[in-house]
Structures are given as C-alpha cells and as structure tokens.
Structure 1
Amino acid sequence: MSVLDEWTGRHASAHDGLDAQGSDPADDLLLRAMADAREVDDFDMRHLRYFLTVVRAGTVSAAAQELRISQPSLSQQIRRLERRIGATLFIRSSRGVELTASGRAFLREIQGIPGQLRSAIAAVAPAPQVWLVGVCGAVPAEVLIDVQNGLSGRRTPGDHQPGARVRMRSVDSADQGELLRHGEIAFGIVRLPIPSPHVVCAVVREEPLGVVMAREHPLAARPELTLRDLTRQRLLWYSEGCAPGFAESVPAQLARLGWNSVLHPVDQDQPALFLHALRTTPNLVALRPRHVVEREPWLVWRPLPTPRPPRERLAVTALRGSYTARVLQETAAERGWLFLAD
C-alpha cells in the first residue's frame, strides 16, 4: 500500500464524520493536490526548462547551445512536450520561433513553477550546496567580495548541513528577473532601478556618478565643469536593452538638469572597448563613480555640476516571497545593506 493510499484510507472515516458538518479544507486541499499530481505524473520537469529556454533564446539553435544539447534533440523534446499537452506551442520560421496563443497561455501558467518547487525544497533543506549569483557588467571586485562574504555559509537555525557556497557568473541585468523567476539563479547583482515587481533588493554600494573622460580630452584640464561644457559632449552609454531602468533613468535625470545628452552606445561589459572609445572618439565622455578611474592612468574624473548628481546603486536581488529573499533580508540587516521590499 502506498503512503498516499494509506493516508486516504486512514482519513476515510474522519471524512465520513465531517460530511454533515462540511469537509476539512486542509484535507480537501491535499486531496486536490493528489489528484493534480496524478494528472501530471508522467510529466518531465526538464521539458519546462527546455520550453522556457527556447522562449528566452528565440531560436531552437541558440537554446540548444545554451542547454548544451544538440539542436535535433531539443526539437524532438519540444515536439514531445507539445504531444503531451495536446497543443502547438511554437510557430517555426526561418527567423526563429514565436509562441502561439496556446504557447503564451502555457508560459503564463508554468513560468513560476520552477521557482515554487525550488522554494518548497528550500523549506525543508534551506541551505543548498551552491547558490548561483548572476552578476551584471562592470561590478567592482569589492562588491563581489562583500556579497560573497555575506551569502556564503548561510543556513537556518538548527540546520546541521554545511552552509551554502556562492558561485557567480555574468548575466545581463535584463535577463536576471526572468532567471530568478525560473529558479536558474538564486540571487542577482544589478544597478537600480530595475523594472521588475517580482524581486526584493538590498543596496550594497551607492555612489554619486561623475564625468569620466580621457586624460587628453580638452575638458580634462579643468578642475570643474559647467552644464554648458557638457552640452557639447556625447555620452558613452549602455547598448539598447542593457541595464533596463538604470539606463533610462540617468539620462532623464541629466535632461532635468539641462544636459540633453546624445547617447553613444558601447558594450559596457568590455573595459577595453570603454577605454578605447573614450580615447579615440572626439567630444565623448562617460558617467561613472570616482573609484572606477582611481587606478586608471588614461582617464580622469570630474564631479557633475550639481549638488544632487545621479547615483549608482548596486544591489543584490532575490525572488519576492522565496526563501532566498528571507536570507537576503537577514544578510542585509547583519551587513548594513539597505533592504528594499517595495
């Protein structure tokens, strides 16, 4: 006899006695969960990951490369998933794949399942062996060390398992919210603000932004700059789609100050490209905290001509309502990070 059958038989008489008074809501909930589980007993969780990866990548070939499986194998798994649920999920074309109406409905219902399952596992084994942290571009090493020290070894009271280890990898800010919801990363490191209502944040470092330019730039000889100086300058900035929220809010703040900057997009994750653009492009400046150029002999930093310059806030994020969100709140309290729940 299975555990579920034993539980059902043991509670049958109790349910008979409750019929006259109404059923027990907790038992009803468990019975419904048992029935739902039987309906999807043959479902492979890997198919969810394959489906979500194809949605994000936009092509089967790119998704297969990310998953490190062959493209024919991934295509076969997606077709198997479609047969299992009885609906076509993607429209295939030479340009890639697009979700059908059924695919959009399926995505809407299942995208939170991996995170919910991960939270359920964490509730009974809350210190996973490794926490994967997604890191946006150009984060100072000091911040990474601070986050590593804060999160490493975390465990709940009474848990005798070894504390968690932290592993970091590069992940664009634009992708981190989705990866948190899907349970593919436990935490993220981003620049605030971010357009995601599904996360909580703890600010690890906050600094004012200033003007960065090549040492040979005509303005570099001036100890202070004016808004008139800056109106003639283009702003080296993030490529489209990178650092969403932050990349839009800072130019808007500059415009309110009177500097309607013309943006010059460059890959901010490549320090060599950043330096090369500033040294070879006329009338080009950037915005960075002062510490970025302190050890860079080719660049100089000058404060923005305002008492309230835009600020860079680097923060750790976690999925709202998850076990890792509670860990982040506790860590923030211990290390003096500003925790933002809203």
Structure 2
Amino acid sequence: MSVLDEWTDRIAPEGTDTDPRNPDPTGDEVLRAMSDARSVDDFDMRHLRYFLTVVRAGTVSAAAQELRISQPSLSQQIRRLEQRVGAALFIRSSRGVELTSGGRAFLREIQGIPGQLRSAIAAAAPAPQAWPVGVCGGVPAEVLIEVQNALSGSRPDGSRETGGKLRMRSVDAADQGELLRHGEIAFGIVRLPIPMPHVVGAVVRDEPLGLVMAREHPLAAHPELTWQDLSRQRLLWYEEGCAPGFAETVPAHLAQLGWNSVLHPVNQDQHALFLHALQTTADLVALRPHHAVEREPHLVWRPLPTSRPPRERLAVITGSDCRTARLLRKVAAERGWAFVAD
C-alpha cells in the first residue's frame, strides 16, 4: 500500500464501494492490535528509519550522512535496536554492513510499517495532502506541467475535479524504485526502459533522439550527417548510475546502427554543465529530442542518419501493487498515454 492510497480510493472503478470501512472498536481485530501494541511500546519509529537507511546505504557512515546525525550516534541507536530485538541485525566489516539472516527476516516484516502508518495518518487527515513525486534529471518543464495537470485533477478542457496536489523533487532514477517501495514517493518520472520490478508506468512523451552540438562545432554546418562523420565524435552521456536502463540501451542501439560511440560522462541534471561541455569540447556531441534544444541559440540539432533512431520515452511510474496504479491507469486512458506494466 502506498503512502497516499487514500486519494486513489476516490478513483475506484464503477460499481465498487469506496466508503471507508468502520471497524468495530470492540471487535477481535482491535483487541489483537491492542495486545500487539503493548508488546512493542518501547519501540521508536526512528529506529526503524535508522535501520532502513543503513540497509539502503550499505554503510553506517553513509547512512549517518543521509540522516544528518553522527556516525557514533547512529551506531549506538542500531545497537539499541538489536538489543531490543534480541538478535544481531548486521554483520559489520571494513567494506560496510550486510544483513544477518535475522536482519533479513526483520526487514521483510517491518519494511511496510512506515508506509502503512503514513497511509493511516493521511486517511484521518481532514485536509488533502500532497503526493510526493520523484523527478529524474533533465525532464522538460512542459512534461512536469502535463503530469501536474493530469494527476492533480485538471482536464484538457480546463475543468477540474477534486484531486491531490503534487510535491515534486529531484530524485535519481536509480533510487526511485526503492523510494516507491517504501512509500517515500507516490510517483516517479523517469526515462524508459528502467530495470525496476513491480512497477507500472505511463509514457507521457515519446520522441526520437537527434544529435546536438555547439553552433561552432565543425559538423554544425552539415545539414545531414553520416556514421562516418560521427566516428570520431565522443558522445556526452550520463554519469554511472544515472538513467539506468536508458543509459545502457541507447549506446547499444547506436552500436547496432554503426556508431560505437566513446562516452563522455557529464552531470546532465544541470543544463549549464551540459551546455558548457558542448561549447568547450571540439569533438563532443549529445543526444536530445528536437524540441528540447530548438530554442537554445547556442546549440544545433541534426537528425541521426537512420530511419530508426533511439527514442526518449519519459514516463510516470508507480508501484504495481499500489492503488496509485489504478489512478495512473485511469489518467493514462484519459490522456492517451501508453500504459506499461512490468
């Protein structure tokens, strides 16, 4: 169940009952919950967050930096959690930490608790809360606006229906699957393909990629390019770990077409660095859809010398086992977005 599933309950298929359930306060389920709560009175939710962060980061030092606490303090809190559980949760080494068998069992049972608690809080909240959305680098502003309008309830004709607000923030594509699974984001915006299990998506933008170069580049004067022209050019590309799936499949596609490009990694989240690299490196070109650079006076766009160029597919994703998937499927049908299941 995702963090904000209560919003998508309002988008249930026709004929289903979307009224909230009213549990009997004297029923057996409540009594069992009271008993369970008494047995874990001394647990602190922050300890679960610390544990999950260490699992994800792989080292206590990296987790402490992410949590913005000192490493000795985090180590102490983890030891207290292990004492309360009654078992070692991590094997510590010079390379970092690994889960023990008990740690794996503990992770399996508790990883859904934060999301369930947030869902309970959101269900009881009197006012709408925002959907957190992770956005990978380099997504055009118009795509963000289109997603905002679609998921927040705007219709193409300008009318509106009740819906959640979006709170977008920059999140590397490689991290979005984990954040979706733990309920820290409700949706993500990424480039397909992306190697994430249990995720569904809707393609918002699907465009062919073309060559981008500085206006001063020697090839900029050529209206048409050949693979021979590109054989001595390096390709400005994503740094390792960014745009997983997409960053591997596009160069492989180009190699099949005849261009075994030498990759030049640059942080493409910042347009200024992207532009600076192209303007200061004579043998450097990049790949972008035409619309992404057509208004950039310092750059030139040329089509690739093929009838089947690689494509950029920007998609909204969410967990396949979350009710947000039902909302995304509904929005995709309304907007004409291609729905992609894992």
TM norm. shorter chain > 0.5: yes
Structure of greater relative contact order (alpha carbons < 8 Å, 6+ residues apart): 2
Please state how far the C-alpha of 1:93 moved relative to its aligned partner.
5.3
Tell whether 2:98 aligns with 1:90: no
- The CA distance in 1 between the partners of 2:25 and 2:215, in whole Å, is 76
Other-structure match for 1:279: 279
**Deviating more after overlay: 165-174 vs 119-128:** 119-128
Tell whether 2:199 aligns with 1:199: yes
- The CA distance in 1 between the partners of 2:97 and 2:164, in whole Å, is 38
Write the letter of the residue equivalent to 2:51. F
- The CA distance in 2 between the partners of 1:321 and 1:330, in whole Å, is 15
TM-score for the superposition, normalised by structure 1: 0.81
Residue by residue, what CA displacement relative to the aligned partner does 1:94-152 show, whole Å, maximum 9, x if unpaired?
66544344334433444344445556777888995111000000000000111111112
Q: Structure 2: where are the runs of 5+ without partners?
A: 1-22, 155-160
CA contact (8 A) 2:234 2:285 kept: yes
- The CA distance in 1 between the partners of 2:127 and 2:207, in whole Å, is 32
CA contact (8 A) 1:213 1:299 kept: yes
Q: Provide the alpha-carbon RMSD of the alignment.
A: 2.9
- The CA distance in 2 between the partners of 1:219 and 1:126, in whole Å, is 60
Other-structure match for 2:27: 7
CA contact (8 A) 2:151 2:163 kept: no
CA contact (8 A) 2:209 2:289 kept: yes
Identity rate of aligned residues, in percent? 80
Please state how far the C-alpha of 1:74 moved relative to its aligned partner.
3.1
Distance of aligned partners of 1:5 and 1:294 in 2 relative to their CA distance in 1, 3 Å threshold = closer
Write the letter of the residue equivalent to 1:215. R
- The CA distance in 2 between the partners of 1:46 and 1:133, in whole Å, is 23
Q: Structure 1: where are the runs of 5+ without partners?
A: 9-26, 155-160
Distance of aligned partners of 1:127 and 1:152 in 2 relative to their CA distance in 1, 3 Å threshold = farther
CA contact (8 A) 2:122 2:129 kept: no
Please state how far the C-alpha of 1:235 moved relative to its aligned partner.
0.9
TM-score for the superposition, normalised by structure 2: 0.81
Write the letter of the residue equivalent to 1:217. H
Residue by residue, what CA displacement relative to the aligned partner does 1:139-192 show, whole Å, maximum 9, x if unpaired?
0000011111111259xxxxxx97421110000000000000011111100000
Q: Which has the higher helix share?
A: 1
Please state how far the C-alpha of 1:88 moved relative to its aligned partner.
2.1
Which residues in structure 2 correspond to 1:29-108 (within 5 Å)?
40=40, 42-92=42-92, 96-108=96-108
Please state how far the C-alpha of 1:51 moved relative to its aligned partner.
1.3
Other-structure match for 1:232: 232
- The CA distance in 2 between the partners of 1:124 and 1:137, in whole Å, is 34
SS of 1:309 mapped into structure 2: coil
- The CA distance in 2 between the partners of 1:330 and 1:80, in whole Å, is 46
**Deviating more after overlay: 285-294 vs 49-58:** 49-58
